Chains A and B, each alone.
Chain A
Amino acid sequence: MNSLISYQNIFNMKKINILLVVLLTIGLVSCQKQLDLPSDGRITLDQVFSDYNRTRGYLNSCYGYTPKPYMDRASFSDEAQDAVDITPESKYNMWYAGNVTSVSFSNYSPDGSPWGKLYEGIRKCNVFLENIKTATVYAPEQEKAAWTAQAHTLRALYYLQLIKRYGGVPIIDKPLVVNNDFSQDKRASFSEVVKFILEDCDKALAIPSNRDGFSWQIFDNQFGIMTRAVAYAIKSQAITFAASPLWADGTYTWEQASAINAEALAECIANDYKLFDETPAADIAQNAYALYFFTSSNDQRSRDKETIYQAGDPMEVWRSAGLPTNPGMDKAGPCPSQDLVDSYEMANGEAPITGYADANKLVPIINATSGYDESDPYAGRDPRFYASIYYNTAVRNLDQPNGKRVQTYVGGTEEISNLNPKHTRTGYYLRKFNNYKSGLNNNADGAIRLFRLAELYLNFAESANQSGGPDAPVTHGNFFMTAREAVNIIRARAGMPPFPVGMTKEAFEAKYRNERRIELAFEEHRFFDVRRWKILDQTDKAVHGVRITRAGDTFSYGRFKFPERSSNSEKFLRYPIDQSEVDKMVELTSDNWQNPGWLD
Chain B
Amino acid sequence: MKQKIIFKISLLITFVLILFVDATIKAQDLEKIINGRVTDKFGKPLNGVTVSSENKNNGTLTNVNGYYTININDKSKGITFFQSGYVLEKVSIEGQDKVDVKLEFDAHANSDIVQLGYSTQLRSAISGSVATVSGKELEKSPVANLTQTLAGRLSGLTTQETFSELSRANTNLFIRGLSAGRQNGPLVIIDGIPTAYNSNQSLEYITSNEIESITILKDASTQALYGIQGANGVLVVTTKRGKKGGLQINGRVDQSFNQVTTKPTFYNSAEYAQMRNQAAFNDGLGENHLFSQAQIENYRSGQNPGLYPNYNSYEMFMNDITRMQRVGVNVTGGNDNVQFFSNLNFMHVGGQFKSDQDRYDANDNNTWINYRTNVDMRLNRNLRGYVRLSGNIKRERTPGSSNADVYSSLFSMPPTTLGPLTEQLLDPGTGEVQHPGYQVITTERVQSPTYGMLNRTGYWRHTVTNITSQFGLDLDMNFLTKGLSANGVFAYQTNSVGSLGTTQNYERYVVGIENDNLVFIKKGDEQNTPLAYSKNHSYYYHLTYKLGLNYQRDFGKHQIGGMAYAFYQNLTKADIQSPGLLPYNRLNTGVEATYGYDNRYLIKFDLGYSGSEQYARDTRFTATPAVSAAWVLSNEAFLDNLDWVSNLKIRASYGKTANDQSGLARFAYYDNVTVGRGGPIGYHQYIINENQIGNPYIQAEIATKQNYGVDLVLMKSLAVSLDVFSESMKNMVVDAGATIPLYQGIPLANYPQTNTGEFKNQGYEFTASYTRHINANLMLNLGGLFSYAKNTLINSNEPLKTSDYSYRKWKDGYAYGQQFGYLVDYSNGNGFFNSPEEINNSNLAYGFGQPRVGDLKYRDLNGDNQIDERDKAPIGSGVLPRFTYGFSGGVTYKSFDLSFLLQGVGDYSSTYSGTGVYETSFDGVFGDLHRNAWTAERYANGEEITAPALSTLKSVNHESNDFYNMDRSYLRLKNVELAYTLPASVSKAIAAEKIRFILSGQNLITWDNMKTKDFGPESSGYTSFPVYRAYNFGVNVIF
Contacts and interface: CB of A to CB of B under 8 A. Distances in A.
Contact of B589 (A15, A24, A30, A586): A24
A263 interface: no
Interface stretch (A174-182, A194-202, A466-474, A545-553): A174-182
Contacts of B675: 43, 48, 53-54, 57
B850 interface: yes
A44 B953 contact: no
A12 B741 CA distance: 61
B613 A221 contact: no
B752 A178 contact: yes
Given A48-B675, A584-B739, A34 B566 contact: no
- The CB with the most chain A CB atoms within 10 A, among B1, B688, B748, B868, is that of B688
A588 B680 contact: no
Contacts of A100: 848
B686 A583 contact: no
Contacts of B613: 35-37
Contacts of B683: 219-222, 225
Contacts of B681: 60, 63, 221-225
A88 B510 CA distance: 19
A481 interface: no
A40 B579 contact: yes
Contacts of A41: 674
B429 interface: no
Contact of A42 (B673, B687, B799): B673
A120 interface: yes
B687 A13 contact: no
A172 B742 CA distance: 12
A30 B799 CA distance: 44
B416 interface: no
B682 A221 contact: yes
Interface stretch (B81-89, B249-257, B547-555, B936-944): B547-555
B525 interface: yes
Instruction: Count chain B CB atoms within 10 A of each CB in A28, A104, A115, A566 and give the residue with the most.
Output: A28
Interface string A166-200: 00011010011010101001000000000000000
Interface stretch (B161-169, B376-384, B448-456, B664-672): B664-672
Contacts of B744: 119, 123, 172, 176, 180, 182
Interface string A273-285: 0000000000000
Contact of A60 (B549, B684, B848): B684
B986 interface: no
Given A89-B954, A172-B745, A99 B684 contact: no
Interface string B605-643: 000010111000100110000000000000000000000
A169 B743 CA distance: 9
A585 interface: yes
Given A35-B587, A42-B671, A60 B739 contact: no
Given A63-B681, A328-B525, A124 B745 contact: yes
Given A180-B744, A599-B870, A34 B549 contact: no
B587 A27 contact: yes
B95 interface: no
A428 to B, nearest CB: 20
A530 to B, nearest CB: 22
A365 interface: no
B679 interface: yes
Size class of the contact patch on chain A? 35 or more
Contacts of B553: 9
Given A16-B484, A421-B444, A120 B746 contact: yes
B802 A586 contact: yes
Contacts of A56: 684-686
A250 B301 CA distance: 73
Contacts of A44: 671, 673
Contact of B679 (A9, A40, A57, A126): A57
B687 A57 contact: yes
A103 B582 CA distance: 38
A2 B667 CA distance: 55
Interface in A45-87: 45, 48, 53-54, 56-61, 63-64, 86-87
Nearest to A24: B589
B26 interface: no
Contacts, number: 244
B869 A440 contact: no
B525 A327 contact: yes
B801 interface: yes
A32 B671 contact: no
A592 to B, nearest CB: 6
B693 A178 contact: yes
A35 B620 contact: yes
Given A12-B481, A420-B444, A32 B742 contact: no
Interface in A243-293: none
A48 B551 contact: no
A30 B1 contact: yes
Contacts of A501: none
A63 B579 contact: no
B621 A172 contact: no
Interface string A224-235: 110000000000
Interface in B495-525: 510, 524-525
B442 to A, nearest CB: 13
A178 B689 CA distance: 18
Contacts of B802: 583, 586, 592
Contacts of A170: 743
Given A24-B589, A60-B680, A115-B743, A101 B673 contact: no
B952 interface: yes
Contact of A99 (B682, B740, B849): B849
B848 A101 contact: yes
Contacts of B954: 88-89, 93-94, 99
Contact of B847 (A9, A64, A599): A599
Given A12-B480, A20-B564, A599-B868, A115 B742 contact: yes
Nearest to A169: B743
A440 B522 CA distance: 15
A40 B679 CA distance: 21
A225 B683 CA distance: 9
Nearest to B477: A16
Nearest to A33: B1
A104 B848 CA distance: 9
Given A63-B681, A123-B745, A221-B683, A599 B869 contact: yes
A388 interface: no
B617 A126 contact: no
A18 interface: no
Contacts of A6: 555, 558
B41 to A, nearest CB: 38
B686 A584 contact: no
Nearest to B746: A123
B680 A584 contact: no
A419 B289 CA distance: 12
Given A88-B920, A104-B848, A225-B683, A584 B741 contact: yes
A34 B686 contact: no
Interface string A5-24: 11001001101100010011
A432 to B, nearest CB: 24
Nearest to A47: B673
Given A172-B744, A330-B524, A584-B799, A13 B587 contact: no
Contacts of B745: 119-124, 126, 172, 175-176
Given A9-B555, A36-B617, A37-B670, 18 more contacts: A9-B553, A16-B481, A20-B591, A27-B566, A44-B673, A60-B681, A97-B850, A97-B953, A101-B869, A124-B690, A176-B745, A221-B682, A328-B525, A584-B741, A585-B741, A586-B801, A586-B802, A588-B799
Top 6 nearest A-B pairs by Cβ distance?
A: A123-B745, A57-B686, A34-B1, A587-B799, A328-B525, A60-B679
8 contacts: A20-B549, A45-B671, A53-B675, A57-B676, A60-B687, A104-B848, A328-B524, A566-B849
